[in-house]
Amino acid sequence: MNFELTALPLSDINSDLEIVFVINKDDSHHFVQDTLLLKKAGFEAGQDETCLLVGEDRLYVGADTLTSTAIRTAAASAIRALKGTAYKSLKVATYTNKGCSYTLRAMVEGFILGAYSFNTYKSKKKKNPIKHITVSLEEYADFTLEIEKASEAIHKAQIIADATNFTRDIVNTTPDDCYPEVMATIAEEMAQQTGLHCKVLKPKELRKEKMQTLLAVARASRHKPRVIHLSHKPKDAKCVVTLVGKGLTYDSGGLSLKPADFMVTMKSDKSGGSAVIGIMKAVAEMNLPVEVHGFVGAVENMIGGDAYKPDDVLVAKNGKTIEIRNTDAEGRLVLADTLCYAQQEVKADYIFDFATLTGASVVAVGNYTSSVMGNNKEMQALVVKEAHNAGELATALDFNRYLRKTIKSEIADICNISNTRYGGAITAGMFLSEFIDEDHAEKWAHIDIAGPAFVEHIWGENPHGASGAGVRMMVKLIENLAADKSHK
């Protein structure tokens, strides 16, 4: 999908179709001549509601407000409505919130994210027909937007949306086609294309690094584990950010075998690691003046004669012993070692981990929201704020000393699962906190994306399947760190 920005008014642009956003059910600024046709069609201009006037070659879409969130989902709905049509190009005016370019950026993101489809395994592949979009600087409310700012907004939107779709592709790929070695290859190829440095640790190096909990989870799989380290190191970086992702390319539950229904969609257990790869892609392409490191623990959790077992005691990289009471609580074991390795390799100003860690997070906050935890409320608030600014939903879940008692072990330093079914997202986060060193304790936030990472229906700008959760929120956060003058 190509975008062209022009100062020409809409009336002078040749295109197959025009898209018109109707804001807060007010069409006074848009084609009064179509009012009767819209009424006949029953168009009420509700949020994300569309109406295609084929005879006029215009598509109307409703948006409740001019906020980025409303415009983004409306744009996604509009582009989806054109699937199956013969239109190949469209034109659209600029919509800004009192001249702010964020709404333009959100509109472009919405078009790209809404046009996404995963057709790899379809014998007949259908793609959105729109190939070219012309954006006019003609602003619906007569605000003036500088062409340089508009161009920058569109450019950033393309990078971020493309990185999100790149992440979606990795997550949606089946476990037989995307196992740890493949995930490492994807990262290496992306790094080569974007100028990132990529280091991949194989089992021999993992043993040398004493990453025994990660290796234990991987033991029963025919696919050997990998730890991926991507790095973006610009000159005069404002600060250092470390990202860590859970990359379970498939999770059977191990010997604590999942019920059959719960094994379906477990290809999505690599969503955290995939998000880290997608974030690094966007950071590199935007060339942000922040040093960013991405670490991914890529592992497959299977069953077999060599599987790790409930009642085992494993030793993590930082020397802490872990009593295993459930082999399906494996993601936190992979993250424990990967977090330790990441902190050993990089002394960061901020450290964030992403994981589809617990079903308990989905129970707590629903399918569409990420849970944010950590030792520092300011860090939690920072993630929640930038998630909302980027169009993702997130909320903070607080640690407390009473739940910490539930992961104590009588025979080891800590147990890999709580002794209560309640507060499981929080106890998993508190488990991870045991593997954050003193230097990073106040700089760390854990982001459980189990809810939004993979949903089996369309919602907002997101398709059936992988959403790319985490990418937009973290790129937005790193963008703001890059612009923060208080950093060195």
Is 325 among the residues known to form the active site? no
Q: What is the amino acid identity at position 460? A: G
Catalytic residue among 258, 320, 385, 404: 258
Select from 292, 288, 339 the least CA-distant residue to 444.
339
The secondary structure of 354-397 as a DSSP string is EE---HHHHHHH-TTEEEEE-S-HHHHHHHHHHHHHHT-EEEE-
Report the alpha-carbon distance of residue 194 to residue 208 in Å, rounded. 30
Is 258 among the residues known to form the active site? yes
Report the alpha-carbon distance of residue 341 to residue 211 in Å, rounded. 8
In sequence order, which residues have a C-beta less than 8 Å from that of residue 299 and are 6 or more positions away? 180, 214, 217, 218, 221, 225, 247, 248, 249, 330, 334
- Give CA angle at 446 (191, 292), nearest 5°: 30
Report the alpha-carbon distance of residue 60 to residue 75 in Å, rounded. 10
Sign of CA dihedral 138, 141, 146, 151: negative
Please, are residues 389 and 324 in contact by the beta-carbon 8 Å criterion?
no
Strands 291-301 vs 226-232: parallel, antiparallel or unpaired: antiparallel
CA 330 to chain centre: 21
Catalytic residue among 91, 156, 270, 332: 332
Question: Helix (H) and strand (E) counts for the chain?
Answer: 15, 19
Q: What is the amino acid identity at position 213? A: T
In sequence order, which residues have a C-beta less than 8 Å from that of residue 142 and are 6 or more positions away? none
Positions annotated as catalytic residues are 258, 332
